[in-house]
């Protein structure tokens, strides 16, 4: 067979494939009856591709086209659904080196090609024999007794290398003892399919309730399309054996669509120690596409806003003096993932973005945070940022080292003053948390504290509108 290739025109290469592969039984997406895709969190998916294929009796080669280019071929399993046990796969080859003019040249390094030149004035063609010396960052040809770089004309190749395909293809040598036409299922694991959860929260004016929409963002860079697929998602940390070779990354070519009102269609169930989400309708996952599917929607979820001043334990171990002026006070938002709070669905890990309407009714972005997998009846806590109008000044007012007592090698007594200031026109409550090391005892304080944990003292301090509140305390530390 003679293949004539203008170097920039790959369509002639694709047309030449048919006679090369005529001896194979080929299956394309036209044979596909259904496809199911289960996507895991860590760039892993299970594909089940069911096709109706005519088969010969006995030994034959089946070219299963349009599979994922990121397939893990060692996981591929072909079985007959209409005649179980009728197919026995003896050998399989995964051809993911796709046919292009450049790939043709690479495969022909060290081999002969013909160079066809056309005289622009007369239209006459001349043909020369050439040897491809290199196809790395350009072409190097030996033509007679000279060396030329670049492509001086059209190249004519003798044939198409058998392992070059226009689409990713799994070629299987199999033996058929069943019917001439069967429904078969090819299942395999693949990379290039990933999903993540994104959440949109709108906080009400009083900061005590919120509406939440959950979205699944799917990204397909697997090199294949999945038409009208049954989609399932697994949330959880599934263990995988680390690959010996890194898989190359590919760019996402399509941006996610703008978010609209969630039309929830995900059913959830337990799967081993994970959670499985099933879309209630088929969906098409196009090649090189990012798309979003509604996961959940809830409104009127009770919420709690907290202003938090978080301390450190280092200044309980020595004299430190001034600890900071206009210290930042963190802004946190909490809500319960419970049915009684209008939620109660296992939440896959993802990013939560929070919005709040301004005086004109326009939703404004007020912060985001990342959550881990969150089971039912657990609390969701988000850090939105730092308060603008609420600040703190902190200093150590006294420190003295005391004689060691018993088993303790370090005993100290220190005092602190925290001035909380509020520039807002309404009063606020600030939670002050101080991590105190060792065995500690609060000797006195201007306000009562709670022992949040064995190493944390906590205060709820009310700061008046456009005013300030001073919190002072003395503590003894032993360790």
396 within some domain? yes
Q: Which residue has the tokens 């989400």?
A: 277
The domain that holds 118 is classified in CATH as: 2.30.30
Both 386 and 435 in one domain: the answer is yes
Both 147 and 295 in one domain: the answer is no
Give the pLDDT confidence score for residue 22 in this predicted structure.
44
End position of a domain, from candidates 278, 302, 326 = 302
Both 118 and 241 in one domain: the answer is no
Both 111 and 200 in one domain: the answer is no
Both 232 and 260 in one domain: the answer is yes
Give the pLDDT confidence score for residue 123 in this predicted structure.
82
Token representation of residue 449: 């504290």
Question: pTM score, two decimals?
Answer: 0.71
Give the pLDDT confidence score for residue 366 in this predicted structure.
96
315 within some domain? yes
Give the pLDDT confidence score for residue 265 in this predicted structure.
63
Report the domain count for the chain.
Answer: 4
Both 121 and 268 in one domain: the answer is no
Give the pLDDT confidence score for residue 242 in this predicted structure.
65
236 within some domain? yes
Both 200 and 291 in one domain: the answer is yes
Give the pLDDT confidence score for residue 42 in this predicted structure.
78
Give the pLDDT confidence score for residue 431 in this predicted structure.
97
Using CA atoms, how far apart are residues 154 and 118, in angstroms rounded to an integer? 9
Give the pLDDT confidence score for residue 163 in this predicted structure.
65
418 within some domain? yes
Both 428 and 327 in one domain: the answer is yes
Both 449 and 324 in one domain: the answer is yes
371 within some domain? no
Token representation of residue 458: 């906590």
The domain that holds 428 is classified in CATH as: 2.60.40
17 within some domain? yes
End position of a domain, from candidates 157, 179, 203 = 157
Both 209 and 331 in one domain: the answer is no
Both 27 and 90 in one domain: the answer is yes
pLDDT digits (tens, 9 = 90+) for 80-136: 999 998 999 999 888 766 667 877 788 888 888 888 888 888 888 888 888 989 888
Closest among 109, 149, 157 to 131, alpha carbons compared: 109
168 within some domain? yes
Residue 114's domain comprises 101-157
pLDDT digits (tens, 9 = 90+) for 421-479: 999 999 999 999 999 999 999 999 999 999 999 999 999 999 999 999 999 999 999 98
Low-confidence ranges of the chain (pLDDT < 70): 1-23, 96-99, 162-164, 242-265
Give the pLDDT confidence score for residue 53 in this predicted structure.
94
Both 325 and 252 in one domain: the answer is no
374 within some domain? no
């Amino acid at each position: 067979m003679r293949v004539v290739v203008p170097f920039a025109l790959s369509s002639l290469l694709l047309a030449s494939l048919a006679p090369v592969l005529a001896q194979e039984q080929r299956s394309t997406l036209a044979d596909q009856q259904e496809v199911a895709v289960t996507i895991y969190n860590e760039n892993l998916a299970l594909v089940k591709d069911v096709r109706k294929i005519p088969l010969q009796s006995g030994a034959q080669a089946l070219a299963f086209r349009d599979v994922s280019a990121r397939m893990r071929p060692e996981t591929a399993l072909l079985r007959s659904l209409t005649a179980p046990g009728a197919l026995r796969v003896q050998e399989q080859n995964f051809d993911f080196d796709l046919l292009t003019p450049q790939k043709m040249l690479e495969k022909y390094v060290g081999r002969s090609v013909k160079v066809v030149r056309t005289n622009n004035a007369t239209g006459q063609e001349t043909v020369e024999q050439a040897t491809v010396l290199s196809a790395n960052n350009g072409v190097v040809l030996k033509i007679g007794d000279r060396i030329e770089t670049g492509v001086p004309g059209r190249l004519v190749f003798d044939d198409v290398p058998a392992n070059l395909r226009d689409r990713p293809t799994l070629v299987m040598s199999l033996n058929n003892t069943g019917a001439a036409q069967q429904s078969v299922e090819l299942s395999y694991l693949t990379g290039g399919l990933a999903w993540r959860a994104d959440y949109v929260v709108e906080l009400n004016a009083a900061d005590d309730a919120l509406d939440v929409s959950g979205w699944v963002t799917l990204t397909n860079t697997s090199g294949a399309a999945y038409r009208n697929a049954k989609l399932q998602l697994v949330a959880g940390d599934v263990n995988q054996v680390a690959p010996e070779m890194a898989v190359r990354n590919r760019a996402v070519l399509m941006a996610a669509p703008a978010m609209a009102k969630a039309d929830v269609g995900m059913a959830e169930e337990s799967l081993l120690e994970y959670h499985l989400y099933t879309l209630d309708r088929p969906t098409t996952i196009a090649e090189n596409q990012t798309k979003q599917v509604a996961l959940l929607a809830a409104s009127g979820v009770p919420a709690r806003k907290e202003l938090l001043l978080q301390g450190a334990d280092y200044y309980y171990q020595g004299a430190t003096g001034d600890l900071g002026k206009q210290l930042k006070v963190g802004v946190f938002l909490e809500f319960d993932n419970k049915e009684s709070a209008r939620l109660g669905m296992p939440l896959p890990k993802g990013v939560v973005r929070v919005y709040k309407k301004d005086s004109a009714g326009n939703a404004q972005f007020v912060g985001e945070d990342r959550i881990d997998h969150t089971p039912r009846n657990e609390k969701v806590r988000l850090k939105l940022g730092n308060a603008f109008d609420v600040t703190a000044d902190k200093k150590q007012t006294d420190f003295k080292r005391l004689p060691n007592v018993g088993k303790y090698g370090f005993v100290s007594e220190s005092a602190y003053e925290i001035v909380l200031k509020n520039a807002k026109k309404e009063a606020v409550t600030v939670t002050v948390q101080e991590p105190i090391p060792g065995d500690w005892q609060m000797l006195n304080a201007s306000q009562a504290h709670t022992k949040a944990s064995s190493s944390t003292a906590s205060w709820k301090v009310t700061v008046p509108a456009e005013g300030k509140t001073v919190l002072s305390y003395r503590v003894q530390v032993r360790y």
